[in-house]
Structure 1
Amino acid sequence: MATESSEMVFVQDPANPQCPNLPKRAGPDQIPDHVPPELILDAGLITGAEYLQEPHDYMAAMHEKFPPVFYNVSPFGNSWILTKHEDCLHVLRNAETFRNLEAAPFPRDPNDYFFFIPQEIDPPHHRKYRNIVDPLFCPAGVAKLEGKIRQRAGDLIDQFAAKGECEFTTAFGRPLPVSVFLDIMGLPQDMLPTFVEWADIMIHSQDPAEVGMAFGKAIAYLKGAIAEKKANPDEGVISLIANASIDGRPLSDKEVFGFVCFLWIGGLDTVYATLNNIWLWLARNPDRVQEIIDRPGDMHKIVEELLRRYSVTFSSRYVTHDIELRGVRMKAGDRVMTCLPAANFDPDVFPDPLKVDFDRPRKTILAFTVGVHSCMGGHLARLELRVALEEWLKRIPRFSVKPGTEIAYKPGGVVGPAAVPLVW
């Protein structure tokens, strides 16, 4: 919490975590005195009716409708919102000024607190945790999975290709990345539907009690899985973490659980949502599908541009000391949210930002954030998207949205259509 010296002081001990008790502000009655009235706005992100009609179009339009820095008021939490690419880069690359504390919205017992590791761990500890799993998630480690991902994609397509239709999100969009992820983690494939149900509630439900109940079930399951991996180690990530050491000491139970829990949550929804968004665009743009088919040597550029156009997450931080950004004063303890999809639509960096242009000059995209907290699964996500495109378009090159379909989006911190019925 902010002190009289206007500096937020918090000593991080991941092995013995303490709830940081950061300022929690929500709604119009909890606006700090230093926020100028003209910058107090309700952007309608996550839950607003206009936003939910077409979230990406909405976030692209924020550059015209809102100041580049403004104070967003919401019943789910007030925070500064940043939409400019330059500003988001600055926040994400400066961990000392912008701390990654209480970054995940899921309810934790303050008397049995744990950090989501490594997301909520800043330097110098952060890199030590990433080093444990980097051999699996680095480009070389991920490359070893390509054959398995390609086989899994083909097996899924076999189940519906001859039918002439499918509901993409359940037939391919979710089972492909989640099944691969479960293999990496060392978790059983028969738990996929249950994990998906829990994650969907945690990420998209607006009922705190419902979220807490689903999270509680996940916590109980993961604690049991960790105990089993300690007793019977295998080649999966959970086992690797459960039996890991840092600086010559075994990880504490809190460290192991926070690490496993964070990876579990992160592996269940983001790539799924990305695939859903992209396949909806493909179904609506058959000429661009043909362009992709005709450019097999440009898949890296194609994947990067699709990730820019359809990034799906946000990333928040807490300000550690009083600062000024674009002439706006922020104080220690203020929450700052980088609107990553909006940053990827910044017209100063990406001209004509809504256009999918596979030949854009290379710029840093923020689909997986940047800096010390860049997404560990970014390389895996890129590979999964590339393989999914190659295998699907080889088998089903012509497809469209099922006639009469109305595309709907769920509220929540991961952006994607709830269902994408396709026909061919």
Structure 2
Amino acid sequence: MKALFKDYLKLEKNILLMIKAEFFVQLIGAAFFLILNIYLAKNSFSDSEIANFISYRFLAVIVLAFPLGIFIKGRSLKPFFIIGSVGIPTVAIILILSIEMSYDNIIPLLFVLWGIVFTLFSVSSLPFIMRNSKISNQSHAISLNYATHSFGTILSSLFIYFSSELMNEINEGKILIIISIVGFIGIYFILKIKNENISYQKKDLNVNNYDWRLIFKATIPTFIIAVGAGLTIPFINLFFFHSFGVDSQFFALIGGFASFLVAICSLLVPNIKNRLGFKKGILSTQTVSVVALVALATTEFFTTYSWALPLAIVCFWIRTPLMNMAAPMTSELTMNYVGKNNQEILSAVMAAIWSGSWFFSSQIVSVLKANNMTYASIFYITATLYLFGIFMYYLLILDYNKNKSKIEYPNL
């Protein structure tokens, strides 16, 4: 275990500074994931309206991610991190105040702005890692970067739970504002980044200079899984809230423990990848996760039984870390698969795919819930799409293993 953490301490200084800033960004994102939907529901917004609001955030990413991925090539990424570190907590605070003061007309616009500032940070993070880390450090850097979401969720969930327990007058909105204020700390770490490496990048905005065949093949599995995830992940708190009466305070603990498991699993990813390889590492974790998701969905039909809620929670705790565990491996796989010349644009395309899929998925959920479809049925659709996506990852891994000797690495 000591050796495991020593490998993370060997990461480059700039990488660690960016990841520390990412933690504070994820602290905000995690808190909003845990309780924003419940807060909106308590403010008389329907599930259909909430799904529609969420879709606006992802709409912004669809529009911005692709041109941003081209624009950042050959440029310093620090200014984008600065804008994101300031913009994310600022927009988050304004959003909560708008909900509290019933300024319903500007809520969609604020979700769009929130999507924009999140995109500036998230699209830049993976290219920053690939530019500024040695190839021997990339697995650990990517895994630690992914783990920030889990660590952010753990801390947010503990704060949500204990503040709700100890402060009678506090509500979800006030909690989210406090966490957003803390999120401003991230800018301190971004400002300390020095001597950023951009030397091997060319400032060229010509879209014809990218290998679109490789990029297309690398994104197919992600697209399929992202569509399925968009039908489920943003609404998992509403599933527990409406099916079992789980309030924000209790769901924060459920989500926090799930994120603790994700954090532990994420830090183990480099070792698992080295032992099992991409094929066994990605396919096995994702497949077991799908089984747990189907079991979780099925509990909706047994809500009157005392065992249903504990089973749903356990299935959530199995599904979440295993599906997230594959993410650092799939990111490293696809980044290496497309080669160094295509990495910025791949990061942007991936962000656009996730957000685009979640935008349309959120719109679909809005329609489905307006027509009273059960969450179980929606989750079953997700499981089917996941299985198809896993099969496409299998084909991509076979192609990668066949051609990996041709991959160019920027830093050896």
Structure 1 length normalisation: TM-score? 0.29
- What TM-score do the two structures reach when normalised by structure 2? 0.29
Higher RCO, 1 vs 2 (CA within 8 Å, ≥6 residues apart): 2
Higher strand share: 1
**Structure with more helix by fraction:** 2
CA radius of gyration, larger in: 1
